[in-house]
Amino acid sequence: MIPRDVTLGDIARALELSIATVSRALRDHPHISARTKHRVRDAAERVGYVSNAAANTLHRARSSLVGFVVPDIENEFYATMASFVAARLAQRGCQMVLAITQDDPRIELDHVRAMREARAAAVAVTLTAAPLPETIRLLAQFPTVQVVRIADGLAGRTLVVDEEAAAMMAMRHLLDLGHRDIAYIGGSTQLSSGQHRLAGYVAALGKADIAVESKYVALGPPRASFARSAMMQFAKLSPRPTAVIASGYELTLGAAQCVCDLRIRVPQELSLIGYGNARWSELIFGGLTMIALPVEDMAFALAETLLGYAPTVDGSATSTVGLDHCASQFVPHLEVRNSTSPLGSSIGLSIGHETTHAKGPGRRTRSPKLVSPWT
């Protein structure tokens, strides 16, 4: 710990070789004899040599770090993405550094600056609603890929979701079930994602010739607390909505909390659709119908893209191959479960509405058995 780190020089001295030779031996340079390589590696192992990443970074003016800037790691979507991407990058000798902005532009800037200082090889970002100009300026200085949310004025690849289609899909499902009074809880329209999701909601209503009632639309920060209070408002409305779409992870959580607090029976009294890839979605309300994102595909695409930008450490050619396979725009699908039912069907759990756009196998959608096999 306190003892100075062992350097190439130390090994060189011990073996009476030059630093250059030691360096090359460790990097498996062709022009070094097998015997020397062996001696060097052996010595390195013995003295516990560990290369100095800083010196490397300094030399080649860029590090092998890759940044991932997310608003919130407790959101399972980002957690999964981060997890997956980090694993993939690690395989190729890149470290992912995760930055959490809490949707605060100041914090965001600090993180981006830090990545810049670290000479990160590339960075993936899900920007805050109103990024500071400085943030954009800094981001422009390295290969950037924007995830989910996109800001204009920033070049580079983008990985987005067809939010509008997603929202329309959910709406279509509800409309098919006969719902007309459908409320919507969404993130701020300053977010590109929030904007498009709302657009989908509006478009779907338009198509069905239903007017958009502003009292049925709640837009705000993507926090559970906001969704909770929005839901409370809906509960007080006179022609009460018969269905609600919460279009965000936190928003879904908040809406669910409120529903639980108020002991609203789902789907008998209210059909509810959530958004995101929460693992708990199948556990509540006998299964919460969700707008689900293809996280794995997206994570794969993101990882490959980032690897394309990163310095190829192990010499393997920059495999841009994967990039062609994966799209830039991903389409979500609706996981129909039991939190949505035909309007007016107050007869316990509803059945027969699995004919919709659900792509995945419906096996996890539970049938309305009443007798538990447990007893």
Partner DNA sequence: AGCGTTTACGCAAGGGTTTGCGCATTGTTG
Partner DNA sequence: CAACAATGCGCAAACCCTTGCGTAAACGCT
Region of 32-40, 172-180, 243-251, 297-305 interacting with DNA (CB under 7 A):
32-40
Nearer to DNA, 43 or 168 (CB): 43
Shortest distance (Å) from residue 72 CB to a copy of itself: 8
Number of shown-chain residues binding DNA (CB under 7 A): 30
- 144 neighbors 125 (Cβ within 8 angstroms): yes
Answer whether 140's CB lies under 8 Å from 125's CB.
no
- Could you tell me the smallest distance in angstroms from the CB atom of residue 309 to DNA? 18
| Mode of pairing for the β-strands spanning 157-161 and 122-125 | unpaired
What is the footprint of DNA within residues 226-265 (CB under 7 A)?
none
Residue 335 CB-half CA count within 13 A: 22
256 binds, among a copy of itself, DNA, none (CB under 5 to 8 A by kind): a copy of itself
Compute the distance between CA of residue 64 and CA of residue 62 in angstroms, rounded to an integer. 7
* Residue 312 binds DNA, judged by CB under 7 A: no
Compute the 3-state secondary structure of the chain and give helix, strand, coil in percent, each to the nearest 5. 45, 15, 40
| Contacted by 283, from DNA, a copy of itself, none: CB < 5 to 8 Å by type | a copy of itself
The CA distances from residue 70 to 32, 112, 174, 220, 254, in Å, are 45, 11, 31, 18, 20
Binding mask 190-229 for DNA (x = CB under 7 A): ----------------------------------------
DSSP string, 2-56: -SPPP-HHHHHHHHT--HHHHHHHHTT-TTS-HHHHHHHHHHHHHHT----HHHH
State which of residues 1, 2, 4, 367 lies at the interface with DNA (CB under 7 A): 4
DSSP 263-305: T--TTTT-EEEEES--GGGGTGGGS-EEEE--HHHHHHHHHHH
8 Å CB contact between 103 and 71: yes
CB of 26 to DNA, least distance (A): 6
> Considering CB distances under 5 to 8 angstroms, the limit depending on partner class, which of DNA, a copy of itself, none binds residue 130?
none
Among DNA, a copy of itself, none, the one that 73 touches (CB under a kind-dependent 5 to 8 A) is a copy of itself
Spatial separation of the C-alpha atoms in residues 208 and 184, rounded to whole Å: 16
CB of 193 to a copy of itself, least distance (A): 21
Asked if 14 interacts with DNA (CB under 7 A), we say: no
Selected binder of DNA within 55, 212, 232, 313 (CB under 7 A): 55
The yes or no reply on residue 111 touching a copy of itself (CB under 8 A) is yes
Q: Are 338 and 289 in contact (CB under 8 A)?
A: yes
Enter the tokens of residue 291.
């707008």
33 binds, among a copy of itself, DNA, none (CB under 5 to 8 A by kind): DNA
Nearer to DNA by C-beta: 24 or 149? 24
245, containing H or E segment: strand 243-247
Stretch that binds a copy of itself, among 139-147, 168-176, 181-189, 192-200 (CB under 8 A): 139-147
Interface with DNA (CB under 7 A), residue from 1, 48, 60, 307? 60
Q: Is 101 in the site for DNA (CB under 7 A)?
A: no
Q: Could you say whether residue 110 binds a copy of itself (CB under 8 A)?
A: yes
Residue of 224, 292, 216, 284 whose CA lies nearest to 254:
224
| CB closer to a copy of itself out of 190 and 257 | 257
The pair of structure tokens assigned to 21 is 């030779």
Q: 286 touches which of DNA, a copy of itself, none (CB within 5 to 8 A by kind)?
A: a copy of itself
145 CB neighbour count, 10 Å cutoff: 20
Number of H helices and number of E strands within the chain? 13, 12
119 contributes a contact to a copy of itself by CB under 8 A: yes
Q: Which does 366 bind (CB under 5 to 8 A by kind): a copy of itself, DNA, none?
A: a copy of itself
Spatial distance between the Cα atoms of 360 and 90, rounded to a whole number of angstroms:
30
Q: Which residues contribute to the site for DNA (CB under 7 A)?
A: 4-5, 7-9, 16-21, 23-24, 26-27, 31-36, 49, 51-52, 55-56, 58-61
